Amino acid sequence: MEKTDLRIVYMGTPEFAVESLKCLVEGGYNVVGVITMPDKPVGRHGSVLQPSLVKEFAVSQGLKVLQPEKLKDEHFLEELRALHADLQIVVAFRMLPEVVWQMPRLGTFNLHASLLPQYRGAAPINWAVINGETETGITTFFLKHEIDTGEIIDQVRVPIADTDNVGMVYDRLMRLGGNLVLKTVDAILNNSVKTVPQEKLAEGTVLHPAPKIFKETCRIDWTKGVKAVYDFIRGLSPYPAAWTELCEPDALPVTLKIYETTKEFASHSLVPGTIVTDRKSYFKVATTDGYLHLLSLQLAGKKRMDVSDFLRGYRHTDAATVR
């Protein structure tokens, strides 16, 4: 079978999923349908509907788009069956019911942004950086009942530098993901796939999860060491951003998002969260074994700025802390 004969249904929603779809289209593969989330209401009254980035690209390419509210809806399932897909590809979508992932004759595979079985879950790139990993990667695997547990088709390993934030790693994995999707499709076409059970790779290792990140997840714990706080901040930068509360005596705390820091290991007797600054060029916060120099930050209601601009516009007392 030629790639133009293979009928592919693609499922995805955010920017990360656009790159792989773009590679399929530009590579001449036969994408017969794209499944994505319903348009999202935005604006003060939710009167404006915003399409997903995958939908925007699909529409620009003249591809058929389906946007089911529920993946078990019978009308949607009829539309999906009518596409007669040979293969389904899932990139950054949602959990599929068995009736959907078992539909195509060649199966359904997923692109996941980690070296499975490590970092199963919704936020694998964030957690890999937060945990100080020096390597991550991307994995294609066939879907089965338990989420992110199917047999592995292929992987690409990617180093994480100590200066990388999650945005940098995200962009790197997104670009490589498109190529891995094409390589996986070609292997399926050529009947050359040799899968590996995740259980085999998991033997003798501690598995790290990658659960969904919420606002409270992003709060900085200054009672940890310099390296842990540094990794935590870059693992959430630029989005959704780590935050803390800037506290002044006799004033309400103000939320402060922190995007970039540098490490200073040092012995001191300060309480974690204590601010040390010359009020002109540096603004650092004590942890248990040193300081984090804040380089890029954002006060609630203000724009993101570098530390020198922040210090010019903000006057705090010697009793100010973060918590």
* Residue 190, C-beta contacts closer than 8 angstroms, at least 6 positions apart: none
The tens digit of pLDDT for each residue in 178-219 reads 999 999 999 999 999 999 999 998 998 999 999 999 999 999
Using the 3D structure, point to which of 180, 202, 224 is the last residue of a domain: 202
CA atoms within 13 A on the CB side of 3: 14
The pLDDT of residue 171: 97
Using the 3D structure, point to which of 202, 234, 266 is the last residue of a domain: 202
Q: Annotated binding site for (6S)-5,6,7,8-tetrahydrofolate: which residue ranges? A: 114-117
Domain co-membership, 142 together with 236: no
The pLDDT of residue 275: 93
In this structure, what CATH number is given to the domain that contains residue 54?
A: 3.40.50.170
Q: What is the count of structural domains for the chain?
A: 2
Domain co-membership, 228 together with 196: no
Dist. CA 236–CA 239, nearest whole Å: 6
Q: Annotated binding site: which residue ranges? A: 114-117
Cross-strand bridge partners of residue 49: 41
In this structure, what CATH number is given to the domain that contains residue 278?
A: 3.10.25.10
Q: With respect to residue 80, please indicate whether it lies within any of the assigned structural domains.
A: yes
Domain co-membership, 243 together with 156: no
The pLDDT of residue 47: 76
Q: Look at the block and give the residue holding tokens 């700025």.
A: 305
Q: What is the mean pLDDT of each run of 10 residues along the chain (323 residues)?
A: 93 97 98 97 82 98 98 97 98 95 97 97 97 98 90 98 98 97 97 94 93 97 98 98 92 94 97 92 96 96 93 76 89
Q: With respect to residue 120, please indicate whether it lies within any of the assigned structural domains.
A: yes
The pLDDT of residue 314: 77
The pLDDT of residue 229: 98
Domain co-membership, 46 together with 182: yes
Q: What is the pTM of this model?
A: 0.94
Domain co-membership, 41 together with 131: yes
Domain co-membership, 98 together with 221: no
The tens digit of pLDDT for each residue in 4-32 reads 999 999 999 999 999 999 999 999 999 99
Using the 3D structure, point to which of 145, 172, 202 is the last residue of a domain: 202
* Residue 199, C-beta contacts closer than 8 angstroms, at least 6 positions apart: 117
Q: With respect to residue 211, please indicate whether it lies within any of the assigned structural domains.
A: no
The pLDDT of residue 302: 92
CB-based contact 169:158 (threshold 8 Å): yes
Domain co-membership, 168 together with 222: no
Domain co-membership, 61 together with 168: yes
The pLDDT of residue 317: 66
Which residue range(s) make up the domain with 63?
7-202
